[in-house]
Amino acid sequence: MKTVSHWIGGRAVEGASGSYGPVTDPATGEVTTRVALASAAEVDTAVANAKEAYRSWGTSSLAARTSVLFAYRALLDAHREDLARLITAEHGKVHSDALGEVARGLEIVELACGITTQLKGELSTEVSSRVDVAAIRQPLGVVAGITPFNFPAMVPLWMFPLAIACGNTFVLKPSEKDPSAALLLAELAQRAGLPDGVFNVVNGDKVAVDRLLEHPDVAAVSFVGSTPIARHIHRTAAANGKRVQALGGAKNHMLVLPDADLDAAADAAVSAAYGSAGERCMAVSAVVAVGDTGDALVARIRDRAEKIKIGPGNDPASEMGPLITREHRDKVASYVTGAAAQGAEVVLDGTGFTVEGYENGHWIGLSLLDKVPVTADAYRDEIFGPVLCVLRAATYEEGLALINSSPWGNGTAIFTRDGGAARRFQLEVQAGMVGVNVPIPVPVGYHSFGGWKDSLFGDHHIYGNDGVHFYTRGKVVTTRWPDPQDGGVDLGFPSHR
């Protein structure tokens, strides 16, 4: 069986704790790999390596940093397929989707290649006689990232390329469910010329995470995962004096107005609800049909959903793969099983589905629930599976109020031909990312990604300008080069002359 170790100080380091976790191929249900689970002492070793590397990396030239990042971009580009294969083998998503994940992660490496422009400071000359003021941004030191299973390459890439471009060194704790992609990311970074210790990977579970949260040499923590853990990370890291951004879960609503192109809306709903088996934080999991659109929209969604081909992610014919674990599959199924008793109409029931020849895989079919009451568990919880809830609203205002009453505020979308309604929606909806006829509005790399309410704890969204801001701190330098005519003691508060 393959063993996934840690990556510390520029090399693979075997686990020393004696503790391992299983990594399963979701399509077969077989445990293919064991992943080392770090002890607190192993986390300390990684942080110590990162701290040592920061001594030179923190003051390295922008030219040196970007030269590594450009080489890294080329290597990642050349290894897209390898990364995608690792992702499919451990996460289960179909190969084309895994390639998409790598491409979106590469965007942030490309952003980091342009860090020279992002880190330009500001200078005001002659703010007073012979006084100049410069604002600069400097790295924080050692920063940590803790990432979820659903994007094992992209979410780490949201974090560390920008963090190291800003001059920090990094310790990543990937999801223990699909850790291999992170190790390849680290190996390629070293091949690109990244000095040892600048980027480290410690595998592990809560033990490793909690040590990172309390370690005195960790200056900041970026987290992406579920809401309860995001809340814990935010509280604990902040209580330990760290800067923290913690992105949580979601229930993303798509509002469909009566004037929308219903075929386009149904295409979008199916793609966004069932892509990656619904295991995306930006998946559309609730459609709100306004006016009399509901029946026609549900019929169109059902027709499309019935045709989706489910199978192993490495089969090019598959459009949707299995879920990450058997336990998660059973939990997702329980929402569908319980939906009718809670008042929903079960239009498609994906429970009990299996794939011939892969009977032990973590399969579930597509489920579609209509007229779901807001009190039903299927609506109230983040299911994180291929289950789409449709709710009905009489008016735009009613639909908007429903969306805004959700505790989450990650992404949302409106489908309409009415520019005025779309404009109102983008201003009135309480969510961090809004799509207008775009179902999954994940911002491009040079804008920032993040939700509102229980979808993000902290002040900064991730990547883009917010990312640069998060991974640096500001300093303002006031300079006077005295002229022979200056001089004399002045006890007054400094003011402009």
Active site residues: 281
Tokens of 444: 């491009």
Quote helix, strand, coil % in the chain, to nearest 5: 40, 25, 40
- Which backbone phi and psi does 252 adopt, to 5 degrees? -95, 125
Q: Which is nearer to ligand NAD, 205 or 315 (CB)?
A: 205
CA distance 269 to 440: 10
Nearest approach in angstroms of CB 26 to ligand NAD is 13
Nearest approach in angstroms of CB 230 to ligand NAD is 7
CA distance 421 to 385: 30
CA distance 418 to 398: 17
Q: Which is nearer to ligand NAD, 97 or 176 (CB)?
A: 176
Nearest approach in angstroms of CB 283 to ligand NAD is 8
Cα 204–Cα 54–Cα 203 angle in degrees, nearest 5? 10
Nearest approach in angstroms of CB 126 to ligand NAD is 45
Q: Which is nearer to ligand NAD, 384 or 470 (CB)?
A: 384
Q: Which is nearer to ligand NAD, 17 or 60 (CB)?
A: 17
- Which backbone phi and psi does 45 adopt, to 5 degrees? -65, -45
Nearest approach in angstroms of CB 251 to ligand NAD is 9
CA distance 137 to 197: 23
Q: Which is nearer to ligand NAD, 155 or 372 (CB)?
A: 155
What does each C-alpha distance from 5 to 142, 201, 210, 372 come to in angstroms? 21, 9, 19, 45
Enter the DSSP assignment of 417. S
CA distance 146 to 182: 11
User: CB neighbours of 302 closer than 8 A, spacing ≥ 6?
Assistant: 347, 348, 368
Q: Which is nearer to ligand NAD, 231 or 473 (CB)?
A: 231
Question: If DSSP codes are grouped into helix, strand and coil, which group holds residue 280?
Answer: coil
Contact 234, 268 (CB under 8 A): no
**In sequence order, which ranges of 114-178 are alpha helices (DSSP H)?**
115-118, 154-165
Going by C-alpha positions, the residue among 416, 249, 387, 385 that lies closest to residue 322 is 385
Tokens of 27: 């399509």
Cα pseudo-dihedral 395, 401, 407, 408, rounded to 10 = 60
Nearest approach in angstroms of CB 39 to ligand NAD is 15
Q: Residues in the site for ligand NAD, rule: CB under 6 A?
A: 146-151, 155, 173, 175-176, 205-206, 209, 224-226, 229, 232, 247-250, 281, 382, 384, 410, 451, 455
CA of residue 286 relative to chain centroid, distance: 20
- Which backbone phi and psi does 160 adopt, to 5 degrees? -70, -35
Nearest approach in angstroms of CB 343 to ligand NAD is 25
Nearest approach in angstroms of CB 205 to ligand NAD is 5
Cβ-closest position to ligand NAD: 225
Enter the DSSP assignment of 276. G
CA distance 335 to 333: 5
Buried b (16+ CB within 10 A) or exposed e, 291-300: bebbeebbeb
Contact 248, 227 (CB under 8 A): yes
Q: Which is nearer to ligand NAD, 70 or 446 (CB)?
A: 446
Nearest approach in angstroms of CB 475 to ligand NAD is 30
- Which backbone phi and psi does 267 adopt, to 5 degrees? -55, -45
> What letter represents residue 341's amino acid?
A
Tokens 């022979």 belong to 484
